[in-house]
Amino acid sequence: MAGDSDRMIALFYTWLGPRCRPTHLPLFNRRHDDLDALLRAQDVIYVGGGNTANMLAVWRVHGVDAALRRAYESGVVLAGVSAGALCWFAGGVTDSFGGLGRLDDGLGFIDGTMSPHYDGDPGRRPAYHALVADGMPAGYAADDGCALHFVDGALHQAVSSRPDARAFRVKRAPDGAVVETPLPTRFLGAATAR
């Protein structure tokens, strides 16, 4: 979570502690030998934001990528925001390399590509369109405050915590034009600040 940031870990426990039994997996100061047992013991694995490319590289060095796959296949729910949303896809739009660019080595639990922060970063939409026009596989985009809910690799629904947050299917048409189709998005109610 954000490079094992002490501040982010403290916030994680502060927000979730009263609601569940949270735990975290530090990798920069690793304390767990059996990643499979730790990850399979979770009901939900939540991945926060940060640098997607660096996160994936660190996961691969430690074998977290394979352990996550096994946890997912055993029924553990996977979730995340920003880098933690993008990582589950085969690729997508990232700011991991300085500017906005292409990421081709996501975990691939969900086919296709993804762009988070679709309305939160003014460069995301044009960058995603340009990459898809240039041959990047089709995928999904989500505004800030919008989540894509997949079941067994297929989109089940888009939900939001903001009434105007939306999700989109983005693909290249046979004529080469990029087509962006808004997806039905169910507003769950406003997120409450603490």
Query: Own/partner pairs for 19-25, CB < 8 Å, 24+ apart?
Result: 25/64
Residue 22 near residue 53, CB atoms below 8 Å: no
C-alpha closest to that of 112 among 127, 125, 128 = 128
C-alpha closest to that of 52 among 12, 13, 88 = 88
Catalytic residue among 82, 96, 115, 160: 82
Question: Which tokens is 7 given?
Answer: 């501040």
Catalytic residue among 115, 117, 129, 160: 117
Assess whether 161 carries a catalytic annotation: no
CA 57/CA 143 separation, integer angstroms: 26
Assess whether 115 carries a catalytic annotation: no
CA 140/CA 86 separation, integer angstroms: 10
Which residues carry out catalysis?
A: 82, 117
